[in-house]
Amino acid sequence: MKLAIVFGGESFEHEISIVSAIALKKVVFSELLYIFCDKNRDFYLIPTELINSKRFSSGKYLSDAKLTLKQGGFYYKKLFKEEKVNFDCAINIIHGGDGEDGKIAALFDFFGVPYIGPNIEASVLSYNKFFTKLYAKAVGVKTLDYEVVNKNNKNISLPLPVIIKPLRLGSSIGVSVVKEQKELEYALDVAFEFDDEVLVEPFIENVAEYNIAGCKIGGTIRYSIIEEPQKELILDFDKKYLDFSRTAKVYEARLTEIRHEEIRKNFKLIYEPLFEGAIIRCDFFLIKNSIYLNEINPNPGSLANYLFEEFNSLVQDLARNLPKRRKIAVEYKYINSIQSAKGKA
């Protein structure tokens, strides 16, 4: 099976997408192609054997074959003709904007490119933290209390301490914990550098957090192990940057079977049917014996390979069992019937 890793994008998380894409070489043993979307949203076919982070920071990728996305897939120009880039399935590993907000999913759907990743609706609902809250409530998953503020209305009624996050961003970029009133204005200014709206939640120190990933294949969800990440106050960008290159397996959290099943149940409520065709990771809090959703990662770093025992087979099986896209037949029956009734050809 030939898989195309699509990465980069115009995003604050552009660089970690590169790191995440390169990490897949160590854990996916199919034939891999690398398709890079640069800051100008131009696509390039990167030689797999030459891929490294410096190729992008130096601009050397500009000498690689430039691609055009159109019906059926990606194409590049040869001397006298166009050549199609042949692969069986694309993997969307663009983090943040372009990859997780629905843009690349819309392009793939429009041009008929099979892909592993969140569809348009899943992207929209998981990219915007406010929409995620509404979705979780609708499917019966608890979330923390929250407020959404913007530059014109910075009034916060939640008691301190709080955690402040840009509404449409991941990787801990622009995130701050505010314990004292004097820290609030600066924390908001930092978050507003990345988004015009900000999510405010209660900050609960030393809360137990559990991460689980999975995908649905052949009608059954394949779950990863459940990890209890070891972290400090919050994971800063540098630690998240390293986290996106993870390939070493992690240890499973010590949980009772009842708690284990409760986390899986909440993951399933989030996953089905919205995220079918994607490998996602959900991060949950355990607060007073109740499970709360922290966030949905629709394109987790290196697709959370470190949580799965058999990641390579998982990816290949998912690529072979993607949701069927509904094909709508356009036959002009209505127009033709009207014309016939009027006696016109």
* Domain map (residue ranges) of the chain: 2-117, 124-142+206-320, 147-202
pLDDT at 334: 87
* Dihedral of the alpha carbons of 145, 148, 153, 157, in degrees to the nearest 10: 10
What average pLDDT does this structure show over 168-181?
Answer: 85
* Mean pLDDT score across all residues of the chain: 91
What average pLDDT does this structure show over 130-137?
Answer: 97
Query: CATH for 147-202, among 3.30.1360.40, 3.40.640.10, 3.30.1490.20, 1.10.8.10?
Result: 3.30.1490.20
| pLDDT category of residue 329 using cuts at 50, 70 and 90 | confident
What average pLDDT does this structure show over 179-204?
Answer: 93
Q: Helix, strand, or coil here: 287? A: strand
| pLDDT category of residue 52 using cuts at 50, 70 and 90 | very high
- Give Cα 239 distance to the centre of its chain: 18
- Topology (CATH level 3) of domain 124-142+206-320: D-amino Acid Aminotransferase; Chain A, domain 1 (3.30.470)
Q: Could you read off the pLDDT of 232-284 as tens digits, one per residue?
A: 555 554 555 455 556 667 889 999 999 999 999 999 999 999 999 999 999 99
CATH architecture of 2-117: 3-Layer(aba) Sandwich (3.40)
Least confident of 69-73, 274-278, 289-293, 338-342: 338-342
CA–CA separation, 30 and 219 (whole Å): 24
Give every CB contact of residue 40 below 8 A, 6+ residues apart in sequence.
10
What average pLDDT does this structure show over 133-138?
Answer: 98
Kindly report the pTM of this predicted structure.
0.90
What average pLDDT does this structure show over 296-303?
Answer: 94
* Dihedral of the alpha carbons of 279, 106, 316, 250, in degrees to the nearest 10: -20
Least confident of 83-97, 149-163, 293-307, 329-343: 329-343
What average pLDDT does this structure show over 106-131?
Answer: 96
